[in-house]
Chain A
Amino acid sequence: MAHDDHPHHHHDHDRGQEPPSDMALRVKALESLLVEKGLVDPAALDAIIETYEHKVGPRNGARVVAKAWNDPAYKARLLADATAAIAELGYGGRQGEHMVVVENTPGVHNMVVCTLCSCYPWPVLGLPPVWYKSSPYRSRAVIDPRGVLAEFGVALPEDVEVRVWDSTAEIRYLVLPMRPEGTEGLDEEALAGLVSRDSMIGTAIVTGPGA
């Protein structure tokens, strides 16, 4: 697709070589107005951005998954009351107030979508990627989950049941992926290093360290 087709979607490799986009100017003007009126505190804006750039992201979810893999009692608590079990690791709050964890098994594969907007478990996965919020994923995840998974390079055996979780309420879903073979000796930190964001949305499989 030619770059010129999307004047409002400047890509980051172009940053600094072109004038500010319409959106950049529009948001800057809005921020100035709200700051001048005393409606928002610019330091609070910085603190929000800092939180999602450096503190809250998919590493949190990976630690939850690794602990569940390594600690059967924790896994039982996680599947019974995910909000409380996730809070044990210090994660919770906005867009993760009510958590449910769904477990992948040899017979069941789970994947999460929000067909109506972009609901996503922020405290454990951070902010959602563009594809998760995009029309193609939101429209097709429910009607053609296997086709969507194929675009992520995931092919499931035909007899596996695919469960799609549409986040229509304030319940947020996290997928507990299957622990890969050959990871028996790994500690939780090493295990967490194997867990990708997409595996916790359900659009990837976790592979072992040698894969």
Chain B
Amino acid sequence: MNGVHDMGGMHGLGPVAPDPNEPLFHEPWEARALALTLAAGAWGRWTLDGSRHQRELIPGPDYLRMSYYEKWITGLEALLVRSGLVTAEELTSGRPAPGAAKTAPPLTAERVAPSLAGGGPTDRISDRRPRFALGDAVRARNIHPVGHTRLPRYARGHRGVVSAYHGAHVFPDANAHGLGERPQPLYQVRFDAAELWGPSANGPGAVFIDLWEDYLEPA
């Protein structure tokens, strides 16, 4: 979707303001927000792609105003209700519905280390043969999906060169919407800065973007 989250190339969003003394968490609730998101995700009721899309669905003005972990909590609340793990009434009242059965969390303290160490690899065996080879000229398609996509707007319509092949990976555009993993070839594509930004490109440079085959056409 062409949301404000897809902000590569935008102007006017202010200076980068690194804080050399930044704490890992600014307030204790940020740490709990991170941990709650990971622990609830262990139920497997939504995918990482689905959780990213849920945050993209935050209305633009709110997305730009909210702090990072506020976006996470907003997304998590929506995922919990959509998945049925929590009802809207429970979320509002803060209490389990009368008679609600108590379940056993899938992620116990003992499972945290192996779960984080294992992660969630997205490479898959696929018999789909890659259409493009290293060095091929490709063009990012001029498409505007209304759902989740990882093809940034600033690349669409532009010409690049395949600089690496990553194998077949889970396709986020399908996986985010519960349509299955639909793995397909994933390429690293080099776009010259001048191709993307024209005369505004400031000095020699390039942007490398990892793009699935369905995002690309021969150029």
Residues on A facing B (Cβ under 8 Å): 8-12, 15, 21, 23-24, 26-34, 36-41, 43-49, 51-53, 56-57, 92-98, 100, 113, 115-118, 126-127, 129-131, 133-148, 151-152, 156, 158-171, 198, 203
Query: Contact size class for B?
Result: 35 or more
Chain B nearest CB from A79 CB (Å) reads 12
Q: Is B28 an interface residue (CB 8 A)?
A: yes
User: Which of B9, B14, B208 is A163 in contact with, Cβ under 8 Å?
Assistant: B208
A12 to B207, Cβ gap below 8 A?
Answer: no
| Cα–Cα distance between A10 and B32 once the two chains are bound (Å) | 16
Given contacts A37-B85, A45-B36, 16 further A-B contacts (CB under 8 A): A12-B23, A37-B100, A39-B105, A40-B36, A44-B35, A49-B34, A96-B119, A115-B152, A116-B152, A117-B52, A144-B202, A151-B15, A162-B206, A163-B205, A169-B122, A169-B172
User: With A23-B29, A34-B86 known to touch, is A131 a contact of B16 (CB < 8 Å)?
Assistant: yes
B108 to A41, Cβ gap below 8 A?
Answer: yes
| Cα–Cα distance between A97 and B197 once the two chains are bound (Å) | 32
User: Which of A24, A31, A56 is B27 in contact with, Cβ under 8 Å?
Assistant: A24
B121 to A98, Cβ gap below 8 A?
Answer: yes
B16 to A134, Cβ gap below 8 A?
Answer: yes
Chain A nearest CB from B76 CB (Å) reads 7
A169 to B119, Cβ gap below 8 A?
Answer: no
A9 to B119, Cβ gap below 8 A?
Answer: no
A97 to B204, Cβ gap below 8 A?
Answer: no
Chain A residues with CB under 8 A of B105: 38-41, 44
User: Which of B7, B22, B40, B69 is A135 in contact with, Cβ under 8 Å?
Assistant: B7
B210 to A168, Cβ gap below 8 A?
Answer: yes
Chain A nearest CB from B120 CB (Å) reads 7
B96 to A37, Cβ gap below 8 A?
Answer: yes
B166 to A46, Cβ gap below 8 A?
Answer: no
A97 to B7, Cβ gap below 8 A?
Answer: no
A131 to B18, Cβ gap below 8 A?
Answer: yes
Q: Is B196 an interface residue (CB 8 A)?
A: yes
List residues of B (87-134) whose CB comes within 8 Å of A's CBs.
Answer: 90-91, 94-96, 100, 102-105, 107-109, 111-113, 115-123
List residues of B (188-219) whose CB comes within 8 Å of A's CBs.
Answer: 188, 193, 196-197, 200, 202-212
A33 to B112, Cβ gap below 8 A?
Answer: no
B150 to A126, Cβ gap below 8 A?
Answer: no
Chain B residues with CB under 8 A of A41: 39, 105, 107-109
Chain B residues with CB under 8 A of A203: 18
User: With A24-B28, A93-B119, A169-B166 known to touch, is A34 a contact of B113 (CB < 8 Å)?
Assistant: no
